[in-house]
């Protein structure tokens, strides 16, 4: 299994690439074997700590501590890829930094048992679409963005239908949403794909709650 994973990593990762490992790098406590696996993998390796990377006292295992990680191992990390914000941790979060502003969240630990929601997804290599190796950021978010795009259209259509059914004019809707009429006009008149889905959800919730 380890050899198959190493081969898949090295098929996809160049020496200069950043390889983010979202926890549980090694169950083994054999320093020589752990070092062998580490040095067999291409890329500049960044470890986000998982439960199996820590000893009983919560400290980094000795077999991992002496390895030349690109940065010191941490419990979570926030970065950008292609201008998009990304928050990574070993565990899934219901909320994460800038989640309401379009940030993505990647996690592991759950072996695909927790459904992906919105811009949050399991990237463990045992998930079906990972094929026991890493994938690039743009590959990981492609399906997420397609689903989000469809949801945006559904929400936009539902807003239009409810406004007509409830005879709610834009000034009244703006007050319900606690935004200015100009902000609401920009939201409703702009290409829905350029609008934050969280803002659309706020408008939909407000109009659903209107008498």
118 Cβ contact list (under 8 Å, min separation 6): 144, 148, 197
pTM, entire model:
0.79
Give the pLDDT score at 149. 86
Give the pLDDT score at 187. 86
Give the pLDDT score at 131. 92
Give the pLDDT score at 118. 85
pLDDT tens sequence for the chain (211 residues): 999 999 999 999 999 999 999 999 988 889 999 999 999 999 999 999 999 999 999 999 999 999 999 999 999 999 999 999 999 999 999 999 998 888 999 999 999 999 888 899 999 999 999 999 999 999 999 888 888 888 888 999 999 999 999 999 999 999 999 999 998 888 888 888 888 888 898 899 999 988 7
The rounded distance, in Å, linking the Cα atoms of 2 and 150 is: 38
DSSP class per residue in 58-73: SSBPHHHHTS--SS--
Q: Specify the 3-state DSSP secondary structure of 80.
A: strand
Q: What angle is formed at CA 47 by the lines to CA 98 and CA 133, rounded to 5 degrees? A: 95
35 Cβ contact list (under 8 Å, min separation 6): 63, 66, 67
Give the pLDDT score at 144. 84
- Give helix 31-40 / helix 2-12 axis angle, nearest 10°: 30
């Amino acid at each position: 299994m380890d050899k198959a994973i190493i081969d898949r990593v090295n098929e996809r990762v160049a020496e200069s690439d950043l390889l983010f490992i979202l926890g549980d790098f090694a169950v083994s406590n054999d320093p020589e074997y752990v070092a062998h696996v580490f040095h067999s993998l291409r890329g500049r390796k960044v470890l986000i700590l998982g439960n199996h990377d820590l000893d009983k006292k919560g400290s980094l295992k000795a077999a991992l501590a002496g390895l030349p990680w690109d940065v010191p191992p941490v419990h979570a990390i926030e970065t950008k890829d292609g201008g998009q914000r990304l928050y990574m941790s070993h565990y899934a979060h219901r909320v994460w930094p800038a989640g309401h502003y379009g940030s993505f969240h990647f996690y592991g630990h759950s072996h695909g048992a927790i459904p992906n929601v919105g811009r949050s997804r399991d990237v463990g290599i045992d998930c079906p679409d990972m094929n026991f190796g890493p994938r690039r950021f743009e590959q990981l978010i492609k399906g997420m963005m397609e689903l989000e795009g469809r949801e945006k259209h559904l929400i936009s259509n539902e807003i239009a239908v409810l406004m007509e059914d409830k005879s709610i004019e834009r000034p009244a809707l703006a007050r319900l949403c606690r935004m200015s009429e100009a902000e609401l006009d920009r939201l409703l008149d702009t290409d829905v794909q350029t609008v934050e889905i969280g803002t659309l959800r706020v408008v939909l919730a407000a109009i659903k709650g209107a008498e």
